[in-house]
Amino acid sequence: MLELIIGVFITFFTTLLRTFIARRIGHVGRDIHKKDRRMIPESAGVGMRIGSLYVMRALKDLYPGIERFALTIFLVGLVGLIDDFVELGPKTKPLLTFLAGIPALKASPYYIDTLLGKVRAESLMKVAVPAGYAVYANATNMIDSMNTVAVFGTAMILAYQTVLLKLMNNDYYLLALAFLLIVLAYLPFNLYPAHAFNGDVGDFVMGSMVFTVALCGGIILPTLVVSIPIITNGRAFVSSVGLKTRKEAPPLVEIDEKTYKMRANPLVKGRPATLVRLMVSTSGEASETDIIRYYVFFFLFSLLLGIIVGVFYV
């Protein structure tokens, strides 16, 4: 447990150091959803990257082969960090995160967990493992449009994984707990009103941590269920704007300069809605806190579904 506590301190203080450095070098971004349009540090999620790598190294005697998963998280986080400074193309990021998942292949179990038991699928898993890292990393990044949302969602999923694995008497509950504590150590920095942005590095690492636990613990299906908001939003985002850069993608919502509430962009028609656009369209207009509240309810609903599915694994 000492290693987990050290991981918490490493995450918190490296994040604190990163925010200080970001302000000094001017690596800051404008929070467009706030009236004061404040400038806050970017890429603060690098602290979670460092914290996660530390705890994985500390737990290597307990989990043989975990070094390969640590290498994957290192590489996925590196892709995110590079994108925070030099914007990568919308096709490049999925490809690079897919390739970053390859080191985890050798240490991954070659079976798929189902409600009826485990089914060996070696050929399928050779594609599913790197694809899983690419999907979770990028989908977590796509849902990170408001303060708190991505970090809260990741923390909730990791908490679910921790409890489920503990009830299953699966030793990987400790890895899930370690990742959960790291995300909770970082949460104060991005909690509304945020003092720092996660950056792609933070989002990619959070998605990678969730998928690593699901893969190692053999709980991919329950994790997918409880991740419905992240997966659904990612699919809707790609359907809405396609594979375009942030500058090329049309704004699906617009912000009222007086009330700073969001409403659907009337110029964007005939496109599937992202979850934010759907929420705004349903209520007419919504503030950032309204959107965060909607997401929390959606995550809690998916948690309920995950609990139902999890019963079959205990």
Mean pLDDT of 40-44: 94
Chain-wide mean pLDDT for the chain? 87
From residue 222, how far is each of 123, 168, 175, 303 by CA, in Å? Answer: 22, 13, 17, 10
Mean pLDDT of 57-72: 93
Give the Cα separation of 203 and 145 in Å (integer). Answer: 11
What tens digit of pLDDT does each residue of 173-198 get? 999 999 999 999 999 999 999 999 99
pLDDT confidence bin for 284, thresholds 50/70/90: low
Burial track 156-183 (b if 16+ CB lie within 10 A, e otherwise): bbbbbbbbbbbebebebbbbbbbbbbbb
pLDDT at 110 over 60: yes
Give the Cα separation of 150 and 66 in Å (integer). Answer: 25
pLDDT over 90 percentage in the chain: 63
Give the Cα separation of 20 and 24 in Å (integer). Answer: 6
Question: Can you give the pLDDT at residue 96?
Answer: 96
Mean pLDDT of 10-14: 97
pLDDT at 24 over 70: yes
Question: Can you give the pLDDT at residue 64?
Answer: 86
Question: Can you give the pLDDT at residue 241?
Answer: 56
Burial track 203-226 (b if 16+ CB lie within 10 A, e otherwise): bbbbbbbbbbbbbbbbbbbbbbbb
pLDDT confidence bin for 285, thresholds 50/70/90: confident
CA dihedral 39, 27, 8, 233 (to 10 degrees): 70
Mean pLDDT of 65-71: 94
pLDDT confidence bin for 156, thresholds 50/70/90: very high
What tens digit of pLDDT does each residue of 213-261 get? 999 998 999 999 999 999 988 776 665 555 555 555 666 666 766 766 7
- Token pair, residue 28, equals 């800051």
Question: Can you give the pLDDT at residue 111?
Answer: 66
Exposed, middle or buried, 237 (CB in 10 Å: 0-12/13-18/19+)?
buried
Question: Can you give the pLDDT at residue 116?
Answer: 61
Question: Can you give the pLDDT at residue 38?
Answer: 83
Residue with tokens 């991981």: 7
pLDDT over 70 percentage in the chain: 81
Q: Which of 27-36, 48-57, 100-109 is modeled with the greatest confidence?
A: 48-57
Give the Cα separation of 175 and 58 in Å (integer). Answer: 10
- Token pair, residue 126, equals 């050779």
Question: Can you give the pLDDT at residue 283?
Answer: 64
pLDDT at 117 over 70: no
Residues 6+ apart with CB under 8 A from 312: 115
pLDDT at 140 over 60: yes
**Which tops the pLDDT comparison, 106 or 243?**
106
